[in-house]
């Protein structure tokens, strides 16, 4: 099968794909309904996917709804980005044991888990590519991320609907999955249930597709799939203002809008936890009571905490104005200097999960107004 070839995969074929990945030793993860939200978790078959579910999202608001259709991927981004598997919230780094004055440091072994992600959206493909740059392409790559990433198998899904807070079109990151996947699917709703127009993005993906596809897709089916994605792009309600964001933010560190947003921002850090590209971490040391063993653990950290910029005597960014400015300026401006790409993929999570509904596109627009 050639990479540009499209094939039709039925629901049973998707089920077979999940089964094949499982047999190949992958831990298969996909969207499931949990506690009133879509969350990623272990799945063993298509019937665990959120068929019939959709969502309503807006600034500070998320509600799971019945879609009235039996489509499997009718919802959009959930709170959890895939980073929680590749760059987990907690990660032990090493353990030290002490015998008198002799100390030995035992490095945590590199993880050997192989993940298969089912249902990765275009924005999140870009987010993974961005974290690849941050965590694997510097002088000191993160070996744990690198190991997990190297084994990762990705089944992408093209979005059939724009979520209420999505703005990927304006960031050039979606809604179509164009690279960075092993297999990409577009769901075609049908009378007797959905089927998928599928495309391979890697030799591994092509080999698996060959086993689970029904038949080649017709020209009409391919056109229908493209029309679905085009409709999603056209119906997106939000957009990042079309500006040189890097110059805009670097030129405006003293804009009055920072005071305005500081009045609303609770510095809770939700936006950084849900953002699929935020990568910052801190470390914690613990010792057992006898003092013979100690452990260092890495965990996610947010630039919205006071500790983040603490140096003896106080925090460098003590005001919420400075902390919001740091987050947004990093995301949209200095990230470009550091990694050659924006740090935002337009997934809208920070807008949905901000308790006060602060909208990054609105904040940019206000600054752009001068």
Partner 1 sequence: MDQMAEPRMAHPLVPRVAHVRRRWRDGPDVWTLEIEDGAGSGFMPGQFNMLTVFGVGEVPISLSGDPADGNRIRHTVRAVGPVTRALARLRPGDPLGLRGPFGTGWPTDALDGRDVVIVAGGLGLAPLRPAILQLLARRDRIGRLTLVYGARSPDQILFARQQDRWGRRSDIEVAVTVDHATSPWRGYVGVVTTLIPRAVSDPANTVALVCGPEIMMRFAAAALTDAGLPETAIHLSMERNMKCAVGLCGHCQFGADFLCRDGPVFRLDRIARRLALREI
By CB under 8 A, the residues from 189 to 208 that bind partner 1 are: none
Distance of alpha carbon 135 from alpha carbon 366, whole angstroms:
32
| Interface pick for ligand FAD out of 291, 312, 314, 370 (rule CB under 6 A) | 312
The strand pairing partners of 106, in sequence order, are 95
CB 99 within 8 A of CB 106: no
* By the rule CB under 6 A, 350 interacts with ligand SF4: yes
Residue 271 interacting with ligand SF4 (CB under 6 A): yes
Smallest separation (angstroms) from ligand FAD to the CB of 307: 7
Q: Please tell me the distance from the alpha carbon of residue 275 to that of residue 79, in angstroms, as a whole number.
A: 9
168 binds partner 1 (CB under 8 A): no
Q: Choose the stretch contacting ligand FAD; rule: CB under 6 A; options: 20-28, 67-75, 168-176, 306-314.
A: 306-314
- With binding defined as CB under 6 A, does residue 311 bind ligand FAD? yes
Q: What beta strand segments (E) does 218-337 contain?
A: 281-287, 293-300, 310-311, 314-315
What is the C-alpha to C-alpha distance for residues 118 and 196, in angstroms, rounded to an integer?
A: 13
Q: Residue from 15, 32, 67, 136 that binds partner 1 (CB under 8 A)? A: 136
Which CB, 9 or 184, lies closer to partner 1? 184
Residue in the block written with tokens 């993005």: 201
Q: Which is nearer to partner 1, 12 or 107 (CB)?
A: 107
* Helices within 166-285 (DSSP H only): 168-171, 203-212, 219-234, 245-250, 257-264, 270-274
Q: Is 306 in the site for ligand FAD (CB under 6 A)?
A: no
Binding of residue 314 to ligand FAD (CB under 6 A) = no
Cα–Cα distance, 198 to 170 (Å, whole number): 25
Q: Is the dihedral of CA 178, 169, 354, 251 positive or negative?
A: positive
| Helix 11-23, helix 203-212: angle, nearest 10 | 130
Closest distance to ligand FAD from the beta carbon of 308 (Å)? 10
Question: For partner 1, which is the closer residue by CB, 55 or 301?
Answer: 301
- 100, 156 in Cβ contact below 8 A? no
Q: How far apart are CA 235 and CA 279, in angstroms?
A: 31
- Which residue sits closest to ligand FAD, CB atoms considered? 311
The pattern of x and - marking residues 88 through 117 that bind partner 1 according to CB under 8 A reads -----xx-x-x--xxxxx-xx-x-------
341 binds, among ligand SF4, partner 1, ligand FAD, none (CB under 5 to 8 A by kind): none
Of the residues 37, 322, 365, 366, which one makes contact with partner 1 according to CB under 8 A = 322
Residues that bind ligand SF4 (CB under 6 A): 265-271, 274-277, 304, 331, 344-350, 354-356, 358, 360
């Amino acid at each position: 099968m050639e990479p540009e070839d499209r094939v039709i995969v039925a629901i049973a074929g998707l089920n077979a794909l999940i089964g094949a990945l499982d047999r190949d030793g992958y831990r298969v993860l996909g969207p499931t309904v949990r506690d009133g939200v879509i969350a990623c978790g272990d799945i063993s078959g298509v019937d665990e996917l959120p068929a019939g579910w959709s969502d309503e999202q807006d600034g500070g608001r998320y509600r799971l709804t019945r879609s009235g259709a039996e489509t499997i991927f009718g919802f959009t981004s959930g709170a959890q980005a895939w980073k929680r598997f590749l760059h987990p919230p907690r990660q032990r780094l090493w353990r030290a044991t002490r015998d008198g004055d002799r100390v030995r440091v035992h490095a945590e072994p590199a993880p050997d888990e192989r993940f298969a992600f089912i249902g990765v959206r275009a924005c999140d493909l870009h987010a993974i590519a961005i974290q690849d740059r941050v965590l694997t392409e510097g002088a000191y790559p993160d070996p744990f991320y690198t190991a997990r990433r190297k084994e990762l198998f990705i089944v992408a899904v093209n979005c059939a609907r724009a979520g209420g807070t999505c703005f990927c079109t304006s960031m050039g990151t979606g809604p179509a999955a164009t690279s960075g996947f092993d297999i990409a699917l577009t769901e075609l709703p049908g009378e007797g249930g959905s089927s998928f127009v599928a495309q391979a993005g890697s030799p591994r993906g092509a080999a698996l597709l060959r086993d689970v596809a029904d038949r080649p897709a017709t020209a009409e089916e391919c056109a229908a799939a493209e029309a679905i994605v085009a409709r999603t792009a056209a119906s997106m309600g939000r957009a990042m203002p079309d500006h040189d964001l890097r110059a805009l933010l670097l030129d405006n560190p003293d804009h009055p809008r920072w005071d305005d947003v500081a009045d609303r921002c609770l510095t809770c850090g939700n936006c950084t936890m849900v953002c699929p590209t935020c990568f910052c971490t801190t470390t914690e040391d613990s010792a057992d009571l006898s003092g013979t063993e100690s452990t260092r653990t890495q965990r996610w950290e947010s630039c919205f905490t006071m500790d983040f910029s603490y140096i003896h005597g106080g925090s460098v960014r003590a005001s919420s104005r400075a902390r919001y400015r740091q987050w947004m300026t990093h995301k949209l401006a200095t990230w470009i200097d550091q990694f050659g790409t924006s740090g935002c993929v337009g997934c809208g999570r920070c807008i949905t999960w901000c308790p006060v509904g602060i909208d990054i596109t609105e904040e940019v627009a206000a600054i752009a107004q001068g």
